[in-house]
Structure formats: C-alpha cells, structure tokens
Structure 1
Amino acid sequence: MLTLAPTKMLGKIIYVSLLLVNSMAVLSEERFLARIGWVSSSQATNNANSGFQQTYDPQTGYGVQQEVGVKSRLIDLISAVRTLMRIPLIGFNILIIIYELALG
C-alpha cells in the first residue's frame, strides 16, 4: 500500500485545489458557458432585457422563494470565483511558481 507523508498529501491537496480554482477562473462566460446554458442569472436578465423578475405571493405579501438547484449554485460559484479570486489567484500562482523553481 502506498502511503504519503502528511505534508506531501497537504501539498498535493493545495495543488489540486489551486488547479481547480484556476480552471474555474479562466472559463469564458460568453464563449463557453453560454453555449451549454450555464449563464449566471445577472447575465440572463441582462440578455433578456426583462428587468426585475420576482414572483409575488398575494397571501403573505412577500416574494416567493424558489428552490435553488445544484446547477444554479455551480453557476453562482463559477461567477463568484471569476469575480473575487482573479487578483488573489495571480499572487498564489506566482508563489507556487517561485516555490517550484526554488525548491522543485
């Protein structure tokens, strides 16, 4: 049985997570995600020019909360990673490259 030291396993987990976040960050919403129907809700409403869309429940007087599916959560995650992690990813990637060049 192959066993890894805890530090090596932690390093592999960091590399894999960095690669996954990098892959989400480089996805183009217009070129790739729109073709397969994975457009964020903000861009979908901008494309439809429909304005504010919210269902209304006349009995309670509040908007009806719709069940959020896995697909919409993944779309929101990809959109958030593309928005929030763009600048920190540059720094993380530079640190990993320097680490690999120095100690690789």
Structure 2
Amino acid sequence: MAFTLYALIQTVILFTNAIAVLHEERFLSKIGWGAEQGIGGFGDEPGIKAQLLNLIRSVRTVMRVPLIAVNSVCMVLLLLFG
C-alpha cells in the first residue's frame, strides 16, 4: 500500500472514530481518566490530562453526526474504487 493522501485521510478518520467511541464509564474511568479526575481548581491552568479529557469529550459531542457521513462516503469510495 502506497502512502497517499487518501491513506492519510483514512488514518485521520480512523483515529477520530477511535476517540468518538471511547466510553467514559466503561473505559476511561478504569484507567483514571473519568469525569471527576479532570477537575482542577479555580484559576488553575488545566494540565495535559484535563486538556485531553476535554478534547475527547469535544470530539464525542461535535463529531458524532459528521463522522457518520464521512464514514459512509469512505465506504462508498472503497466499494467503488477498491
């Protein structure tokens, strides 16, 4: 498989899918990344862990509907062009 732009786009879509399906209570809380662990004090700069938790929640919230469309387009392209 050659390193093409389509392969790079497909990789980004797969990583976004992986982030979108992470379940907070089933998976993230078991490794210590639940909702209660990411809370910092007032006026404190959020750490890297809190920022990653915020990114995961944002991707799950915002990208759920667009990912359905993007995955459908990728599947059709894969079926048509192999």
TM-score interval for Structure 1 and Structure 2 normalised by the shorter chain: 0.7 to 0.9
The count of aligned residue pairs is 79
Q: Structure with the greater relative contact order (CA < 8 A, sep ≥ 6): 1 or 2?
A: 2
How many Å separate the matches in 2 of 1:54 and 1:29? 22
TM-score by length of 1: 0.68
The corresponding residue for 1:37 is 32
How many Å separate the matches in 1 of 2:24 and 2:70? 23
TM-score by length of 2: 0.85
How many Å separate the matches in 1 of 2:9 and 2:65? 18
Structure 1 runs (4+) greater than 6 angstroms displaced: none
How many Å separate the matches in 2 of 1:54 and 1:37? 18
Unaligned regions of 5+ residues in structure 2, if any?
Answer: none
CA-atom RMSD in angstroms = 2.0
The corresponding residue for 1:60 is none
In the TM superposition, residue 98 of structure 1 has moved relative to its aligned partner by 0.3
Unaligned regions of 5+ residues in structure 1, if any?
Answer: 46-52, 56-64
Is 1:76 aligned to 2:54, yes or no? yes
How many Å separate the matches in 1 of 2:6 and 2:59? 22
Q: Higher Cα Rg: structure 1 or 2?
A: 1
Higher percent of residues as helix = 2
In the TM superposition, residue 36 of structure 1 has moved relative to its aligned partner by 1.0
* Structure 2 counterpart SS, 1:66: coil
